[in-house]
Amino acid sequence: MLTCLCDAFYGEVGIAAVKVLEHLGCKVEFPLDQTCCGQPPFNNGDWESARKLAARTIELFSGDVPVVVPSSSCAAMLRDGCRSLFGKAMSNVFELSEFVLNVLKIESWPGDSIQAQRVAFHRACHGRVLGLGDSQERLLQMVPNLRLVPFEDADQCCGFGGAFAIGQGFLSSKIGLEKLRRICETGVETFASGDMGCLMHLRGLIEKHRLPVRAVHYCQVLSSTIS
């Protein structure tokens, strides 16, 4: 699953995710009719609309083939959010790192090493719902020469929250700037995350406030090690 954000803006992330999966030996299918999983209206309380989008997504992805998505929030929507909408949810949906670590059971990274790099990692909140723990960080740390740098209050939300970013814009921006302040304190040039919602919001703040840091999806880091 590509996610609507990657479909609209971040094609490179989708491409990176496919490259990573293919490099690990998977045959990737991309159902062309996919659009949006329904999370935005769901979080906003418009469950009628959410049901329409979630139902067609579930229908489109039904079957035995595992569904992998480079986003914890979309995975959480289909694996958990749908419970509130339909009383049941999809079980064979995986966030990318979950799939790589728990299903493909990768224990070391089969790619080139990179030049020594200090990277911070922002964990998206929906990982809590999925029980991701530190899967994404563990996967990243398999890349030789990559050092994850900790920072203060790392487990705090970035302030995106979907429609929250629009409806409570001041708070959303303040929360995000606080997150970026903590990241910039470490002096890293780059930080990674697993959710384009977070990154769309944080990148928007970085650009507006001209902050000296770059934000990428972690699968882009992984993909860069594949020659």
Q: Using alpha carbons only, give the angle 98, 224, 127 rounded to the nearest 5 degrees.
A: 25
Closer by beta carbon to other proteins, 147 or else 209: 209
Closer by beta carbon to other proteins, 92 or else 156: 156
CB of 82 to other proteins, least distance (A): 12
Instruction: Print the SS3 string covering 186-220.
Output: CCCCEEEECCHHHHHHHHHHHHHHCCCCEEEEHHH
Closer by beta carbon to other proteins, 138 or else 208: 208
Closer by beta carbon to other proteins, 9 or else 86: 9
CB of 132 to other proteins, least distance (A): 12
CB of 92 to other proteins, least distance (A): 22
**Cα separation values, 194 from 52, 122, 123, 129, 170, Å:** 26, 8, 7, 14, 24
Closer by beta carbon to other proteins, 2 or else 90: 2
CB of 44 to other proteins, least distance (A): 5
Token pair in block for residue 146:
């990559």
Non-local (6+) Cβ contacts of 32 within 8 A are none
The residue whose two tokens read 């995710």 is: 17
Residues lying near other proteins in the complex (CB under 8 A) are found at: 2, 4-12, 14-15, 18, 30, 32-36, 40-47, 49, 52-53, 56, 84, 125-126, 128-129, 153, 155-157, 159-176, 178, 200-201, 203-205, 207-208
